[in-house]
């Protein structure tokens, strides 16, 4: 991942504080640079004030043969780009070379002055906005960015339409406007997730600052109302910000739909799409630091042994070179409440090995070895004592801001320690060798986050179907997809990217809520209706046990939930 910071201030330079700089460097350890631009802007009192635009970027270099430092700066016009993302294609064409440099060149070309047909002397800024929008519309992949178009005096910033990369915005106590990959400053600084409804633009030719009514109320500050949003639209024409995600298919079957089977066209198509999508994420990745013939891992999976993550591991096997190991990062926590209950009941065994995710993780590890014996699978058992959870809790809470509930914390803790990748490793090709202390060198971390929202994996999806049939199910999935960026993906990205890794999650839209008849002669017997198409893909790939694995939330499988109090609710705010 890369880190982004931007500030707009009329009271002097505003840089990220020391703590934020440290966290940004952890996201992008390969480069750290600052760029500042000064320009005059108008206030609501029609006066001009000098303001300072500050850009900070840290870089985690994933592809290519050299590090491309950011921010990228156009020396002739002072335009600036801070980019955090993976642009795999532009207008459907695969990208050759560095994606950041290519996108910057396209944006600069789009921002070049043009003249309208009525007057050869009249700059047509409106068409420049349309051209910039066209460039962004043509990008395939997850991203967040800040682009300053110095030629036309405009600032653009956004995340992709699903919100797969973190970006926050807020105004600090001095009235400065900030955009950052994570919260900057104290908890009193108000930050919100940058909306995924479109690309946001600040036009410096208009009033963007507000004068304080009286000197006692503070300095000139940024006016949030000056931010314009250019919405994603399901229109493929110049000047529109085309949404790369097609609208929800709201058609419903008139008759009882046929049962999904291993040969169903949508199951075959889903497997193909998952394979193509995964290839973009894990192939052609540069060797990470620590990559050797012994520690030859570029890709790791956040691995509970459940359906979603095991499919990602299984498909990765078919896409990566045979001599590369794949790390399976399995985290388990010492939960004092669970340990106390086990002690009272005289239960024996390791508190870690008795965690549900450790049990399913080892089971899926064995099944992967049986189905793909030629691959070296490295199972990394990450055991987190309670005292270590407590020691890191403030850091996790800092990273997940502005999220602030018990559920956020329990999920974030599991992702934070799993993505650190430190534990006891067991290589499948080493037979009965003793596990060794190990830290994964992988910089690409795969997760199945979002699969339950997209494949109707929650109990509420079944309830929606029971109440209102397919119409109710479609409405529930549509709601889940629309709020993924705000509720889940930004938070998860901030926590996982702390360990200088690129976090990728992806799924597709195939689901079934029709239960199957219990026929013991059928190979699909025992396959749950939730995420049925995905379960059938697992079955096609030889993962029979995984295809039948029950859904379990990460905070319960790893036992990060309710460590101190049993009656706490996930929605309760943290103290």
8-state DSSP, 166: -
- Is the CB of residue 165 less than 8 Å from the CB of residue 274? no
How far is the C-alpha of 78 from the C-alpha of 76, rounded, in Å? 6
How far is the C-alpha of 155 from the C-alpha of 8, rounded, in Å? 10
How far is the C-alpha of 112 from the C-alpha of 520, rounded, in Å? 67
How far is the C-alpha of 13 from the C-alpha of 7, rounded, in Å? 8
Q: Which two three-digit tokens encode residue 227? A: 């931010």
CA 343 to chain centre: 39
Give pairs for 564-569: CB < 8 Å, separation 24+: 564/336, 564/337, 566/337, 568/406, 569/406
Angle at 112 between CA 109 and CA 116, to 5 degrees: 130
How far is the C-alpha of 440 from the C-alpha of 381, rounded, in Å? 11
Cα dihedral 545, 547, 549, 555 sign: positive
How far is the C-alpha of 347 from the C-alpha of 273, rounded, in Å? 45
Omega prior to 71 cis, within 30 of 0: yes
How far is the C-alpha of 213 from the C-alpha of 502, rounded, in Å? 46
- Is the CB of residue 572 less than 8 Å from the CB of residue 412? no
2 is catalytic: yes
- Is the CB of residue 152 less than 8 Å from the CB of residue 111? yes
Other Cβ atoms within 10 Å of 404 Cβ, number = 14
How far is the C-alpha of 306 from the C-alpha of 258, rounded, in Å? 27
DSSP character string of 252-318: --SSPPPPP-TT-HHHHHHHHHHHHHHHHHHSSPPPPTT--SSS-EEEEEE--SSHHHHHHHHHHHH
C-alpha atoms less than 13 angstroms from C-alpha of 123 in its C-beta half-sphere = 9
Q: Residue 517: phi, psi to the nearest 5?
A: -65, 145
- Is the CB of residue 531 less than 8 Å from the CB of residue 307? yes
Q: Decide: residue 480, CB within 10 A, 0-12 exposed, 13-18 middle, 19+ buried.
A: buried
Identified catalytic residue from 2, 161, 355, 413: 2
Residues constituting the chain: 575
Residue located via tokens 């026929």: 519
- Is the CB of residue 201 less than 8 Å from the CB of residue 154? yes
Catalytic residues: 2
């Amino acid at each position: 991942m890369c880190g982004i910071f931007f500030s707009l201030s009329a009271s002097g330079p505003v840089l990220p504080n020391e703590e934020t700089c440290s966290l940004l460097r952890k996201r992008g350890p390969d480069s750290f640079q600052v760029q500042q631009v000064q320009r005059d802007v108008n206030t609501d009192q029609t006066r001009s004030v000098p303001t300072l635009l500050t850009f900070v970027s840290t870089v985690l270099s994933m592809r290519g043969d050299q590090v491309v430092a950011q921010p990228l700066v156009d020396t002739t016009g002072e335009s600036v780009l801070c980019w955090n993302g993976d642009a795999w294609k532009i207008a459907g064409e695969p990208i050759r070379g560095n994606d950041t440099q290519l996108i910057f060149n396209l944006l600069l070309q789009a921002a070049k002055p043009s003249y309208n047909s009525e007057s050869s002397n009249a700059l047509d800024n409106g068409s420049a906005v349309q051209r910039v929008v066209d460039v962004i519309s043509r990008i395939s992949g997850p991203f967040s960015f800040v682009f300053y178009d110095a030629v036309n005096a405009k600032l653009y910033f956004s995340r992709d339409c699903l919100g797969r990369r973190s970006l926050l915005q807020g105004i600090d106590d001095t009235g400065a406007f900030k955009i950052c990959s994570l919260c900057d400053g104290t908890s009193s600084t108000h930050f919100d997730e940058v909306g995924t409804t479109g690309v946001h633009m600040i036009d410096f030719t208009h009033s963007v600052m507000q004068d304080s009514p009286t000197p006692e109320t503070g300095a000139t500050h940024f006016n949030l109302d000056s931010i314009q949003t250019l919405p994603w639209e399901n229109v493929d024409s110049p000047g529109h910000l085309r949404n790369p995600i097609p609208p929800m298919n709201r058609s419903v079957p008139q008759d009882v739909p046929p049962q999904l089977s291993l040969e169903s066209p949508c199951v075959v198509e889903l497997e193909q799409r998952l394979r193509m999508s995964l290839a973009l994420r894990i192939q052609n990745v540069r060797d990470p630091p620590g990559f050797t013939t012994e520690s030859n891992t570029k890709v790791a999976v956040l691995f509970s042994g459940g359906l979603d993550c095991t499919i990602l591991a299984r498909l990765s096997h078919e896409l990566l070179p045979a001599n590369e190991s794949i790390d399976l990062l399995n985290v388990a926590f010492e939960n004092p409440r669970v340990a106390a209950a086990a002690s009272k009941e005289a239960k024996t065994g390791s508190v870690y090995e008795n965690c549900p995710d450790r049990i399913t993780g080892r089971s899926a590890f064995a099944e992967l070895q049986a189905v793909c014996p030629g691959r070296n699978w490295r199972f990394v058992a990450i055991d987190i004592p309670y005292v270590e959870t407590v020691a890191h809790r403030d850091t996790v809470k800092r990273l997940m801001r502005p999220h602030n509930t018990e559920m956020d914390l329990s999920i974030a803790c599991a992702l934070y320690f799993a993505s650190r990748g430190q534990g006891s490793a067991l290589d499948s090709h080493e037979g009965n060798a003793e596990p060794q202390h190990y830290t994964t060198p992988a910089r690409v971390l795969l997760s199945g986050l979002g699969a339950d929202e997209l494949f109707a994996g929650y109990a509420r999806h079944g309830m929606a179907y029971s109440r209102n049939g397919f119409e109710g199910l479609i409405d529930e999935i549509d709601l889940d997809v629309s709020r993924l960026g705000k509720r889940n993906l930004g938070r998860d990205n901030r926590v996982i990217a702390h360990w200088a890794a690129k976090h990728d999650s992806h799924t597709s839209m195939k689901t079934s809520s029709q239960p199957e008849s219990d026929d013991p002669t059928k190979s699909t017997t025992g396959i749950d209706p939730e995420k049925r198409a995905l379960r059938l893909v697992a079955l096609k790939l030889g993962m029979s046990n995984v295809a039948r694995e029950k859904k379990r939330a990460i905070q319960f499988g790893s036992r990060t939930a309710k460590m101190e109090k049993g009656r706490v609710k996930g929605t309760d705010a943290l103290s």
